[in-house]
Amino acid sequence: MELKIESLNKQYGNGVHALIDVSLTINKGMFGLLGPNGAGKSTLMRILATLQDADSGSAMLGEMDVLNDKAAVREVLGYLPQEFGVYPRTSATDLLDHLALLKGFANKGERKEMVNYLLNKVNLFDIRKKAVSSYSGGMRQRFGIAQCLIGDPKLVIVDEPTAGLDPGERNRFYNILSEIGENIIIILSTHIVQDVKELCTQMAIIDKGKVLFSGDTDDALLQIKGKVWERRVEKAELPQFQKDYKIISSKLVGGKPLIHAFSANDPDNSFTKAEENLEDVFFAKLNELV
């Protein structure tokens, strides 16, 4: 199954153009939607999750019209928003059972079997009787994945899923997404480059409502291959370097800025060639260097 988005537009009442002619083709597997906060990622996710209307354009999931046949899409959709509420004092088992009932699974025995299977899949079975409101952030996100998978969805959308998670929980989350992403479409919306690097073979970069890049992660790296240079400078020198060179990014390492510059050749024979990465692609696209 393929998700094909063409010329999607969305403007809010305050005049903000959240999406401007967004076109993407997303195949089975993990797809990373990368962009800074406010880029339009969440608006796109809500439209695809049938929670919000677009002003124009189209989105087709196989033969299903995402924008106009919302009921059919919801039957094959799993959605994990940035934040989701839970009933206080309700256990994971009871809440997941309730959500499965709302999704149309009327047979109690079938629901019980599915709930146990999903809680095992996300490593929450041993604490299934505890209230979800008492879970840590990582545990809640894993529960969120479990509710996403009710009904064997064909499309799963996760919006900023690892913000605030510690490294251990993030790795557990990565492993679950990687496993379930082998046979369905999973769209991972995030501003964290590492998430896309770890999980996705397909990606898009979006900023100010526009798609700046769409394709394989390897193709993205090819666009800057051999053109990224690095150098450590003094803090006082940084403004001048930013003025004189095409600086992709800078970060403090050992108290000194480490800058990455974009150039076909060594900018001034004082830089060393850096190994390109998706973070360089991300910032180079945002700064319109490639």
CATH number at residue 67: 3.40.50.300
Cβ atoms of residues 118 and 67 within 8 Å: no
Q: How far is CA 178 from the centre of its chain?
A: 13
Residues 143, 83 share a domain: yes
- Residue 263: strand, helix, or coil: coil
Q: What is the domain count for the chain? A: 2
Same domain flag for 230 and 133:
no
Strands (E), the chain: 3-11, 17-26, 29-34, 56-61, 64-65, 77-80, 155-159, 185-190, 202-207, 210-216, 228-232, 247-253, 256-262, 272-273
What sign does the CA torsion over 121, 127, 129, 135 have? negative
217 Rama class: left (phi>0) / alpha (psi -120 to 50) / beta: alpha
Pairing verdict, β 228-232 and 210-216: unpaired
Q: Show the tokens assigned to 71.
A: 């009921």
Which is nearest to 251 in space by CA: 280, 281, 217, 218?
280
170 shares its domain with 27 = yes
> Domain range spanning residue 185?
3-217
- Number of residues that this document lists for the chain: 290
Among 217, 240, 261, where does a domain finish?
A: 217
Find where tokens 């996760």 sit.
Answer: 158
Cα distance between residue 207 and residue 196, in whole Å: 16
Is residue 150 classed as helix, strand or coil in its secondary structure?
A: coil
Contact criterion met (CB below 8 Å) for 45 and 202: no
Mark whether 174 and 128 lie in a shared domain. yes
Judge if 182 and 266 occupy the same domain.
no
SS3 57: strand
Helix (H, G, I), strand (E, B) or coil at 246: coil
User: Is 10 in the same domain as 64?
Assistant: yes
User: Which of 217, 238, 270 is the last residue before a domain boundary?
Assistant: 217
171 and 230, same domain (yes or no): no
Q: Tell whether 184 and 261 lie within a shared domain.
A: no
Q: Are residues 140 and 167 in the same domain?
A: yes
185/261 same-domain check:
no
Same domain, 228 and 178: no
Per-residue pLDDT of the chain (290 residues; tens, 9 = 90+): 899 999 999 999 999 999 999 999 999 999 999 999 889 999 999 999 999 999 999 999 999 999 999 999 999 999 988 777 778 889 999 999 999 998 889 999 999 999 999 999 888 999 999 999 999 888 888 898 899 999 889 999 998 887 777 888 888 888 888 888 888 999 999 888 888 888 898 999 999 999 999 999 889 999 999 999 999 999 999 999 999 999 999 999 988 999 999 999 888 888 999 988 999 999 999 988 88
Pick the last residue of a domain from 217, 242, 268.
Answer: 217
- Give the residues across from 257 on adjacent strands: 252
Whether 239 and 152 share a structural domain: no
